[in-house]
């Protein structure tokens, strides 16, 4: 599954997009305004980050908010022995983002060596399958970098047990 995405705080879901009449003489002519949260998400998604990444954060979002949501996912128990799934990725970057509150959610974080080895095998297959398509290979390579980051964290957690 191609998991490129963005998660940003959104204080007002009802007003993500509002349309207003531009003039009373032409009621079918409207303008549409997007909320700042929606604009932030679109800008980040279009900024050019590569790979199967989920970028989270922004003003008003705390790691505590994210941890609450993530601990509900099957293998992302942040409070247990798993590696921390949020990481500011050095090298992959966050193009056009001046704010430092953004992090990658390392969705491949897991607790067992068996599950980790299975995910690594899938990633290797994905990388090989993309070799014939330069754009696809670029995304797979960026994802592989996130896997390396996660692997280093997984190894550190395993060694500390």
Bridge partner residues of 30 (DSSP) = 21
In the predicted structure, residue 132 carries a pLDDT above the cut 90: yes
DSSP string, 15-71: GSEEEEES-SSSTT-EEEEE-HHHHHHHHHHTTT--SS-EEE--TT--HHHHHHHHT
In the predicted structure, residue 62 carries a pLDDT above the cut 70: no
Chain mean pLDDT for the chain:
76
Give me the helix-helix angle, 134-160 and 113-129, nearest 10°: 170
**pTM value > 0.75:** no
Domain extent listing, the chain: 5-160
């Amino acid at each position: 599954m191609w998991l490129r995405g963005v998660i940003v705080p959104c204080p007002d879901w009802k007003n993500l997009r509002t349309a207003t009449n531009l003039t009373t003489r032409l009621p079918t002519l409207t303008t549409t305004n997007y909320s700042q949260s929606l604009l932030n998400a679109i800008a980040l998604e279009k900024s050019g980050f590569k790979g199967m990444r989920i970028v989270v954060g922004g003003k008003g979002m705390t790691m505590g908010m994210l941890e609450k949501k993530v601990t509900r996912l099957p293998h992302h128990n942040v409070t247990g022995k798993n590696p921390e799934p949020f990481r500011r990725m050095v090298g992959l970057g966050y193009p056009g983002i001046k704010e430092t509150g953004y992090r990658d959610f390392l969705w491949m974080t897991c607790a067992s060596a068996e599950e980790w080895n299975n995910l690594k095998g899938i990633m290797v297959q994905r990388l090989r399958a993309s070799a014939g398509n330069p754009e696809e290979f670029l995304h797979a390579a960026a994802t592989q970098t996130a896997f390396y980051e996660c692997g280093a964290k997984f190894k550190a957690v395993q060694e500390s047990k």
